[in-house]
Structure 1
């Protein structure tokens, strides 16, 4: 037993919406989000990968999270 067709459809639509929202982020915000959230790098590792300060990583990630929350409000 597993998720039914309705649950699988909803899951696929959620991923599609999330993917589109991430693609719409400005490049630096998308980089910070992908490295921190999806790749699991810490702030220092992300800063090195992006070639910026740790403060910039935090700012880019914060802005990305706010943008994604706004774009995906209907998930709540």
Structure 2
């Protein structure tokens, strides 16, 4: 039986969500604390997770306790990624200004090349997979919203997203094609 995560019209569903969340809170905080290395940050992230679920529309899941633990692990990963991004930005701001100018053209060329390869990989995806990817990454729609709009299960949407993200990752990992000058055919 599925359990609703949130519904303003469903007081028993909200009460059940709070009951399961409170029962899992200590486990979620331990999991997040192990990943981020700080109990206070873990407590803050688990509280943020609660607020995210409390504010969102009703979502049906099979095992709410397991789902919350998985979400807690994901929020820890998201936190570490954003922390790493902030550190990279800070490092680049503190780096000598002259050195950054020397690599700007190469970085711009590499970024442009990566973008073209990602766009090509997305064009090769099945239409439904590409549409799901664009709805999520470009238009900011949640997996649940996409699933409802397209008449799919959330699991199916997640699988399409994994396929799209793997294609993007593989396109960047692949060696870029070296452009040949006209008249320089391989022998």
> Normalization by structure 1: what TM-score?
0.74
Aligned to 2:106: 6
Q: Is 2:20 the counterpart of 1:20?
A: no
Change beyond 3 A, Cα 1:9–1:67: closer
Q: Tell me the distance in 2 between the aligned counterparts of 1:55 and 1:40.
A: 18
Over the aligned positions, Cα root-mean-square deviation in angstroms equals 2.3
Rg: which structure is higher? Answer: 2
Q: Please tell me whether the aligned partners of residues 32 and 46 of structure 1 are also in contact (alpha carbons under 8 angstroms).
A: yes
Q: TM-score, normalised by structure 2?
A: 0.35
Report the count of equivalent residues.
75
Return 5+ residue gaps in structure 2 as ranges.
1-96, 176-187
Matched with 1:56 is: 156
> 1:37 maps to what in 2?
137
More contact order relative to length (CA 8 Å, sep ≥ 6): 1
